[in-house]
Every structure is written in structure tokens, then in C-alpha cells.
Amino acid sequence: MGYALASTDDILAARDGDHAALQRVLASSRQDLRRYAEYHCVVNDAEDAVQESLLQVARRIGDLRVVECFASWLFRIVKRECNRLKRGLRLLTGDMITEDILPICAFEPVELRQDVAAALESLPAHYREVILLRDLEGLTIEEIAEQLGLNPQAAKSRLHRARVLAREYLMS
């Protein structure tokens, strides 16, 4: 499924406060959000989820740090909104709220962020770099391999090892 999301230039301009660019970003994102919401929401809630998501995007686009992550950011917002609407419906009907639609804690405690930062700092540079490329910048394994001059299997292996070391640090 291909998405016809906004151009990078429009996203950058919208992030920097250009209202016309924001309108273009919202308009070009609407149809894809609608399709995504129809899959994740109760049918009658899809349009409400899209509207609320577009409002959140308009309010928070200035917080978007990595423009290349716009699509995943956008779809996470609509999925979270669909889950919020499902929880509301289940509260009204008395149905059980399952784990898959529980709210996601958006903010980690400061201590956890400090622990993760310390774990990353404890890693050798080549492991730290692969984790940051994958988990912060959102690059694919193929993109990481190309950037680091590795084959995809070596990049995958390095990422796995880096995560194991970080996990060990956090568990100690």
C-alpha cells in the first residue's frame, strides 16, 4: 500500500510555522489517515479519529524532530486516537478493556531516560551508532548497512549485540 503523504519541503515548512504548508500537509495526509483509521477503528469512529488526529498534527507538528519519521508519527497518532475511542466505547458498554487498546504512556520518568542515556554511553561507539541509526533516526537495516559499509546481516547482528549489551547494562 503506497501512501501519498506530504512532501518533505511542506512538512519542514509546516513545522516552521507556514500555515499554507500545514494546510497542504493536512490535506495530503487525510485520505491515507482515513484508510488507516478504517482498519484500526470501529467503523463509525474512523472519521472522528481522523479529525482528532489532524487537529493534533496541526497543534504538534512543531514538535516533530525528524521529518523522515512524519508518516510513522502520523499513523501512531491516528492509531492512538482509534484506541482511545475504543476504550470509551468499551467503558460505555461495560466490555473489558484489553491490553491492546490500553493507553500508551507518552512520557518516561526522568530516571528511565537517564538510565537509557547512560546505557548508550556505556556502549562502544560502533554499537552506540547502530542503535542510534535504527532506534532514533529510524533507518532500515539496509540503510544502516549502506551507511556503515556493512552487509545487512552484519548490520543486523551488530544491532542485536548492541541491544543485548544495553539491556545487560540496564538490568545490572
Give pLDDT, residue 101: 52
pLDDT for the residue numbered 97 = 56
Residue 129 placed within a domain: yes
Give the whole-angstrom CA distance, residue 157 versus residue 172. Answer: 23
- Phi–psi pair at 142, nearest 5 degrees: -60, -40
- The domain that contains 156 carries what CATH number? 1.10.10.10
pLDDT of residue 126: 94
Are 117 and 87 found together in one domain? Answer: no
Query: Is there a contact between 77 and 32 (Cβ–Cβ < 8 Å)?
Result: no
pLDDT at 75: 85
The pLDDT value given to residue 99: 60
The pLDDT of residue 20 is 94
Asked if residue 93 and residue 123 are part of one domain, the reply reads no
Say if residue 130 is in the same domain as residue 95.
Answer: no
Query: What does the pLDDT read at residue 1?
Result: 40
**Tally of structural domains, the chain:** 2
Which of 41, 45, 61 is closest to 29 using CA atoms?
61
Are 40 and 70 found together in one domain? yes
pLDDT of residue 93: 64
The answer on 15 and 77 residing in a single domain is yes
Task: Identify whether 2 is part of a domain.
Answer: no
Q: CB neighbours (10 Å) of residue 28?
A: 16
Which string of b and e fits 117-146 if b means at least 16 CB within 10 Å? eebbeebeeebbbbbebbeeeebebeebbe
Q: What is the pLDDT of residue 111?
A: 72
Are 55 and 127 in a shared domain?
no
The answer as to whether 73 is a domain residue is yes
The three three-digit cell numbers of residue 22, written as one number: 500545514
Burial 95-108 (b: 16+ CB within 10 A, else e): eeeeeebeeeeeee
- The answer as to whether 18 is a domain residue is yes
Residues of the chain with pLDDT under 70: 1-5, 43, 89-110
Residue partners of 73: CB distance under 8 A and separation at least 6: 64
pLDDT score, position 91: 60
Which CATH number characterizes residue 73's domain? 1.10.1740.10
Which structural domain, as residue segments, surrounds residue 58?
8-101
Same domain, 91 and 119: no
